[in-house]
A = this chain, B = another copy of it.
Amino acid sequence: MDDKILRKYMSRMCDLNHAAELMQWDLKTKAPKNALDTHAATIATLSTESFKMSVSDEMKGFISAFENDDKLDNILKASLKDLKRTYERSKNIPEKLYKEYITHTTKSEMVWEDAKRNNDFESFRPYLEKTIAFNKEMAAYIDSSKSIYDVLLDNFETGIPSDQINSLFEELKQGIAPLIESISHKERMDDSKFYGHFEKRKQKEFAEYMLNVIGYDLKSGRLDESEHPFTIGRAPYDVRITTRYDEKDIRSSLFCVLHEGGHGIYEQNISPALIKTPLAVGTCMSIHESQSRLYENILCKNINFWEPIYDKVGELFPQFKDISLDTFYRGINIVEPSLIRVDADELTYNMHIILRFELEKALFTGDLQVKDLREAWNEKMKEYLGIEPPTDAQGVLQDCHWAEGSFGYFPSYALGNIYGAQFVTKMEAEVGTLEYLLKEQRLDIIKDWLKNNIHRFGKMKTSTQLIQDVCKTDIDVKPIIDYYKSKYSKLYSM
């Protein structure tokens, strides 16, 4: 069989996915209110079409024809491997079930947006229950030999089972709990100057300036507003990010933008040779989050990052002219228990993830019912962070993941923290210390290193392969713990 046929087949799948993704983006950022049903129907048609192609007899034929074909180039070989994995996972899922699921989750997201806006968990509850039922049914079709939650985890992080995540998170918890405890006895750093009125328009200008600083390319992307920040893309030439603005405090949107900017940089630097294959995408969500959280935190919450550009902050928002860079730096690094995951500091952030990991696992073992989810959320918030959400919008309704059916996604964020520190340790050894690179505004060197070692490969390598190839070690919690210890002992004089 000529591999041109396979290429053409993949190209058509990519185009269908491209259109479906763009319609998702549109629905969340631009589409008029009344467009929901027609958009949902078209998204379902396109996704189902692509799904059907992934499990078709033709696909089966490609797999058996090319599987042992040594003449295929490396990209086609890796593509075929990925297509085979998808085929094996999806071949037993009934098409009708899949289409119903896509239609359901597209609507569920919109219902969630309203529910969050109106702080009304009950209106969203039946949708969530149905999403969970759908996921249970599908997981059984995918791999009935594994626990449902482990099957779902594989959608986002291939090959790391929940037991291993459990022990990594245990180690993480033990490393950060004493730090959080010590900091809780310290005086709160003064950030009174951060509160005020900051026009959306100005924040957007600032965001685009910052994206430019870190190396996100606005000619191959754009920045919009949405209920929940996200990145969506057709790598490498059209990778879009979103944020939402809090007009009372610039920090919230600023670090969302830098986070999504990190995702965006990853996708924008995938090799163009992977276009029109299933590999032109970040390899899995934990590696993706390692990049986004690396930009958001390790790079952009470092004092050296701000030193060369601090004047710009005062230029756009004059109230910052009154405070020193040091006060600014302290203000963006306050450690304290808070309600909203995406706004949390680097340390307590991990507790937000562990909470979600435990809850979603329980939803699928049957230990927790959706009707008790709100209460379980609030109890865990009290246990881990000592605070209780006054509203569901600030609690169980805050994130979009469950609304869109992404169970098993949350662990990626904390795994991303862990991997990110491993990568940075290696990068510093190879191209210079962060202090030097940031002070000299050599974000280009950082981006190039990440591109050469991680980004360009897209989905050619798995997360474990990448970590092995780049760091020459296994997954290791120590670097992130060391980073936290060093950063916060200085900041809080401990």
Contacts and interface: CB of A to CB of B under 8 A. Distances in A.
A23 B30 contact: no
Given A34-B219, A218-B32, A221-B32, A22 B12 contact: no
Interface in A1-31: 11-12, 15-16, 18-20, 22-23, 26, 30-31
A39 B238 contact: yes
Interface string A200-232: 000000000000000001111110000000000
A33 B234 CA distance: 13
A41 B22 CA distance: 14
Q: How many copies does the complex hold?
A: 2
A42 interface: yes
Given A31-B238, A220-B35, A238-B35, A42 B19 contact: yes
Contacts of A144: none
A96 B123 CA distance: 50
A464 to B, nearest CB: 30
B18 A42 contact: yes
Contacts of A19: 19-20, 22-23, 42, 46
A174 interface: no
Contacts of A220: 32-35
A38 B219 contact: no
Given A38-B237, A234-B35, A45 B219 contact: no
Given A22-B22, A237-B37, A15 B31 contact: no
A217 B34 CA distance: 10
Nearest to A25: B26
Contact of A30 (B30, B219, B234, B237): B30
Q: Is the interface of A mostly helix, strand, loop or mixed?
A: helix
A251 B32 CA distance: 26
A30 to B, nearest CB: 7
Given A38-B18, A42-B15, A45-B15, A238 B23 contact: no
Interface string A301-319: 0000000000000000000
Nearest to A17: B42
Interface string A269-302: 0000001000000000000000000000000000
Contacts of A42: 15, 18-19
A62 B219 CA distance: 46
A483 B322 CA distance: 66
A42 B17 CA distance: 9
A39 B240 CA distance: 14
13 contacts: A11-B41, A15-B41, A18-B38, A19-B20, A19-B46, A22-B26, A32-B221, A32-B237, A33-B219, A35-B220, A35-B238, A38-B234, A38-B238
Given A15-B42, A34-B220, 13 more contacts: A11-B41, A12-B45, A15-B45, A19-B19, A19-B46, A22-B23, A22-B26, A32-B218, A32-B238, A33-B219, A34-B217, A34-B219, A39-B238
Of all A-B residue pairs in the complex, the 3 with the closest CB atoms, nearest first, are: A35-B238, A15-B45, A34-B237
